[in-house]
A = this chain, B = another copy of it.
Amino acid sequence: MSETRDVLRVAVLGAGGLGMAATRMLAGKREMTHVAIADSRGLAVDMDGLDADAVGEAQTATGTVGSTRASGQLSGDAIGDLLGHGADIDGVFVALPNLPNDFVPSVVERFAQRGYQGVMVDALKRTSAAELVVKLDPLLSHVGITYVVGAGATPGLLTAAAAVAAQSFAEISSVDINFGVGIANWEAYRATIREDIAHMPGYDVDAAQRMTDDDVAALLDETGGILELRNMEHADDIILELAGVVDRKRVTVGGIVDTRNPKKPVSTTVTVTGTTFEGRTSAHTFTLGDETSMAANVCGPALGYMKAAHWLHTRDVFGVLSSADIMPRFVR
């Protein structure tokens, strides 16, 4: 049985809600060491392993992980500085807010141009952003990066469940993803909530990016803290299409986000409907436990895909893969 046994040195890009959750999650892993984190104003690097509490305190107190005592530094080009340590980093979790829509793809391209040779995973959500990453496949294959696009919750965990469920059917008629997210307070996930608002009628990525915190708070006051999202532009569609499972038009993603209550407003489900080789129509369903947080459902799979991608990287399999192409591996 093939297994990766090394302790992987992991960097996290982005110190927002997801990045900080990844930092806390990595503190509990024996198979991974968290060696670097970067945000827009600084970075912290320690090849022996960062102190998650210190990173969190620095981020809370000063707004940048660069203020972490000993391991931190302020920087006008934190990603560039982090790339100086690229040779010592096995895997990168790109947890940056993707505003504007080509920001994460441009960061990935920069890693490739600097000759980074490791594993990268993202938690991108939009189809158009995922398409930009997929276009980098020849470059990443050439450089020697093994990349997993859409490795969060949706796309990610739920897309993988859909790809598994599809196996019983000869033809898939629809994949419906319906998520519920509850967070106690939107300010812990400023970028994620803005990306969600961009999916609402009358908004787009630019409009959401321009909103001040007061604008967001005012909108949430109007809706009672609830964001209801339908027919979202979500990369589950292109990922399942590229995996050959189903035409992207047959994939629908929607959900309800409660920004004032950590309890999920609805259970998150994936429903895969298809016809078997005998001609019977049926549906498999995958339902997430309500007690699992967005952070657990995004960052867990991201690290699981990183472990799987590292295994492939050691076998010289490079380029852009998706969360429907490879099985995420459990990180102890």
Residues of A within 8 A of B (CB): 1-3, 21, 24-25, 28, 134, 137, 157, 160-161, 163-170, 172, 242-245, 276-278, 280-293, 295-297, 299-301, 304, 315-317, 319-322, 324-330, 332
Known pairs A276-B293, A317-B2; A327 contacts B286 (CB<8 A): no
A170:B286 contact, CB within 8 angstroms? no
A167:B1 contact, CB within 8 angstroms? no
CA of A2 to CA of B312, assembled, Å: 12
B327:A160 contact, CB within 8 angstroms? yes
A325:B327 contact, CB within 8 angstroms? yes
Known pairs A157-B164, A327-B163; A287 contacts B285 (CB<8 A): yes
CA of A277 to CA of B331, assembled, Å: 12
CA of A208 to CA of B164, assembled, Å: 33
Chain B residues whose C-beta falls within 8 Å of the C-beta of A293 in the assembled complex: 276, 278, 280
Chain B residues whose C-beta falls within 8 Å of the C-beta of A172 in the assembled complex: 330
Known pairs A137-B1, A164-B161; A280 contacts B286 (CB<8 A): no
Name the CB-closest residue of B to A317.
B315
Known pairs A1-B322, A164-B328; A277 contacts B291 (CB<8 A): no
A157:B161 contact, CB within 8 angstroms? no
A329:B244 contact, CB within 8 angstroms? yes
A164:B160 contact, CB within 8 angstroms? yes
CA of A277 to CA of B292, assembled, Å: 10
Name the CB-closest residue of B to A25.
B277
Query: Which among B276, B325, B329 is the interface contact of A292 at CB below 8 angstroms?
Result: B276
A301:B1 contact, CB within 8 angstroms? no
B284:A296 contact, CB within 8 angstroms? no
A286:B161 contact, CB within 8 angstroms? yes
Query: Which among B157, B161, B286, B296 is the interface contact of A278 at CB below 8 angstroms?
Result: B296
Can you identify 11 A-B contacts, CB atoms within 8 angstroms? A1-B322, A2-B321, A164-B327, A276-B291, A278-B293, A280-B291, A282-B288, A282-B292, A284-B286, A315-B316, A326-B326
Name the CB-closest residue of B to A170.
B28
CA of A293 to CA of B169, assembled, Å: 10
Chain B residues whose C-beta falls within 8 Å of the C-beta of A329 in the assembled complex: 243-244, 325
B282:A289 contact, CB within 8 angstroms? yes
Chain B residues whose C-beta falls within 8 Å of the C-beta of A290 in the assembled complex: 282
Query: Which among B278, B283, B325 is the interface contact of A2 at CB below 8 angstroms?
Result: B325
B157:A168 contact, CB within 8 angstroms? yes
A-B interface, 3 closest residue pairs, ranked by CB to CB distance from nearest:
A282-B289, A282-B291, A276-B296
A296:B1 contact, CB within 8 angstroms? no
CA of A83 to CA of B161, assembled, Å: 36
- CB of A252 to closest CB in B, whole Å: 18
- CB of A310 to closest CB in B, whole Å: 13
B280:A165 contact, CB within 8 angstroms? no
Chain B residues whose C-beta falls within 8 Å of the C-beta of A160 in the assembled complex: 164, 167, 327
CA of A10 to CA of B242, assembled, Å: 24
10 additional A-B pairs beyond A168-B301, A243-B330, A277-B295, beta carbons within 8 Å, are: A2-B317, A25-B170, A160-B164, A168-B297, A169-B296, A169-B300, A244-B330, A245-B330, A280-B292, A284-B287
